[in-house]
Amino acid sequence: MSRFWSPFVKDLVPYVPGEQPKLTKLVKLNTNENPYGPSPKALEAMRGELNDDLRLYPDPNGDRLKQAVAEYYGVTAQQVFVGNGSDEVLAHIFHGLFQHDAPLLFPDVSYSFYPVYCGLYGIPFEQVALDEQFQIRIADYAKPNAGIIFPNPNAPTGCLMPLDVVEQLLRANRDSVVVVDEAYIDFGGETAISLVDRYDNLLVTQTLSKSRSLAGLRVGLAVGHPDLIDALERIKNSFNSYPLDRMAIVGAAVAFEDREYFAATCRKVIDSREALVEQLQGKGFEVLPSAANFIFARHPQQDAAQLAARLREQGVIVRHFKQTRIAQFLRITVGTPEMNQALIDALG
C-alpha cells in the first residue's frame, strides 16, 4: 500500500489468474489453454501483418473480424462486439449493462472474475447456489434482478445447460440482460447465438483463447441485439479506441474462417477428454460431466490441495480453488494424450 493510493484502490479485491510458469518443462494443465496450436492459416496471416503498416493505428472497429464472426454465426456485424479477450468484453458488459439497483445474479460456483468486476464497478450481486449435482436451477433465478450471468458450460465445473433450458431462463427474465458466457461452448455445447434475434435481452460472449487456441493474442467477442452492442461500443470508445491490434484483428478473423482446422482440433480435445475421464475414474476419482476442455474431479480419499501440491512437485500443474464448496476438487485442463498420460503417471 502507498500513501498515493485512492481509498477505492485500497478496497479492490483483484482476480488471481492461474500460474503462468517460467519453467517450460512443466505439464501445464491449469489454465484451460488448448494443447494444439492455433490455425496455421491464422499464423500465416498474422505474419503478413508484420510490416511497415504497424506505424499506423489498427481499425478501431475491428470490422474485418466482426464480419468474419457475423458470417460464421449468420448474424449482422451490428450484432457483434469485439474486445481484448472476453475478460475485457465482460468488463464492459458489467460497466455498461449491469449497474442498476437490484442485484446481479450468478451461480455460487462460477467464474471468479464476476465478483471482481462487481467490486470494480460497484454492482450489488447475489450468488445463487447450484444444486447438489452442481447444476443451475433456473427456478432460483425467478426473483428481481438487474441481470443474470453464467458460463455455459459452467466454469470450473464443466457442466452444460442445454439450449432449451437457456431459452426458458430467457423467457422468464425478459426485463433484464441475460449474459451467457460461452468461453467453452465449442467443446460440446450448442451456442445460444441462435436465439439473439428472438431475445433482445440476450448477450452471448465467446473467446478465441480456448477452442481457437489464441489465448496469447487476447481476443473475445459478444453477440446480441444492436442496442446492447451499442452500449458496449460507447464504453469501449470511452476507454480504449484500439483494443485489438493489427495482428489480432486479422489472426482472429482467419481463425474463424479456417473451419476445418477448428473442427479437427475441437474433436481431438473432446476425444482426449473422454479418455482422461475414464482414466481418472479408473483411479477412483469422481468426475463431473464435462462439456468443456477441462474436467472437475475429486478423489474421496485424497485432499485436493495436497494432491495439487504433490502433482506440482512432479512437474504437473492443475488448478485448485480454496472456495469451501469446491475445496476438494481439482480442475484439470484436457491436454494431448501424452500430457494426460503424464498426469496419470504422476498420480500413480
Chain residues in the site for ligand PLP (CB under 6 A):
32, 85-87, 111, 151, 155, 181, 183, 207, 209, 215, 220
Q: Which H, E and C letters describe the chain, residue by residue?
A: CCCCCCHHHHCCCCCCCCCCCCCCCCEECCCCCCCCCCCHHHHHHHHCCCCHHHHCCCCCCCHHHHHHHHHHHCCCHHHEEEECHHHHHHHHHHHHHCCCCCCEEEECCCCCHHHHHHHHHCCCEEEECCCCCCCCCHHHHCCCCCEEEEECCCCCCCCCCCHHHHHHHHHHCCCCCEEEECCCHHHCCCCHHHHCCCCCCEEEEEECCCCCCCCCCCCEEEEECHHHHHHHHHHHCCCCCCCCCHHHHHHHHHHHHCHHHHHHHHHHHHHHHHHHHHHHHHCCCEECCCCCCEEEEECCCCCHHHHHHHHHHCCEECECCCCHHHCCCEEEECCCHHHHHHHHHHHC
User: In the complex with ligand PLP, which residue's Cβ is closer, 235 or 347?
Assistant: 235
User: In the complex with ligand PLP, which residue's Cβ is closer, 204 or 215?
Assistant: 215
User: In the complex with ligand PLP, which residue's Cβ is closer, 113 or 285?
Assistant: 113
User: In the complex with ligand PLP, which residue's Cβ is closer, 229 or 347?
Assistant: 229
Give the shortest CB-7-to-ligand PLP separation in angstroms. Answer: 28
User: In the complex with ligand PLP, which residue's Cβ is closer, 151 or 251?
Assistant: 151
Give the shortest CB-56-to-ligand PLP separation in angstroms. Answer: 26
User: In the complex with ligand PLP, which residue's Cβ is closer, 70 or 219?
Assistant: 219
Cα–Cα distance for residue pair 291/158, rounded to 1 Å: 6
User: In the complex with ligand PLP, which residue's Cβ is closer, 19 or 345?
Assistant: 19
